[in-house]
Amino acid sequence: MRHVITLLVENEFGVLARIAGLFSGRGFNIESLCVAESLDPTVSTMTIVTRGDDQIIEQVLKQLNKLIPVIKVVDLIEKDYVEREMVLIKVSATPQTREEILRIVDIFRGKVIDVGAKTYTIEITGDEKKINAILTLLKPLGIKEMVRTGQVAMIRGSKVITESS
């Protein structure tokens, strides 16, 4: 099962290596990982998307908690949350396909951020479903390259994830 895990970690060197090493050393998989400074500059927020059965996820959460620079671990699957990912897609644009690409981008509320002689570069933001949907539509038109940021996620409503929450 797919899990989205939010971590608060000390904003110091080596923390990412500890977390990546934990996953590789224990054979857990990382589908995506996103990390940057949080509101508090001494703390970074990390979003990890992983898959595993209940026992594996229980171990993942406990092992993450055991790392000294990890301040907080929240498995969002138990919460109501929103998630977003940004993707840059370079797609072939011929006189025959330009119109259609623009229409798809428009429907998905994406943006064309660069235009080449034979390509469009598209920026699209959404959850996993939306991203997969646009990729399915663009694929037959010829995707030349794709770069994804990985998921970021947040609990809905007024609840926040803080050190003490």
Q: How far is the CB of 122 from other proteins (least distance, A)?
A: 39
Of 8 and 87, CB closest to other proteins: 8
Residue 14 touching other proteins (CB under 8 A)? yes
Helices then strands, each counted (H, E), the chain: 4, 9
What is the DSSP-derived secondary structure letter of residue 77? G
- Residue list 60-99, contact with other proteins (CB under 8 A): 62-63, 65-71
Of 63 and 97, CB closest to other proteins: 63
Q: How far is the CB of 34 from other proteins (least distance, A)?
A: 19
- Residue list 17-36, contact with other proteins (CB under 8 A): 17-18, 21-22, 25
Q: How far is the CB of 20 from other proteins (least distance, A)?
A: 10
Site residues (vs other proteins, CB under 8 A): 9-10, 14, 17-18, 21-22, 25, 55, 58-59, 62-63, 65-71, 163
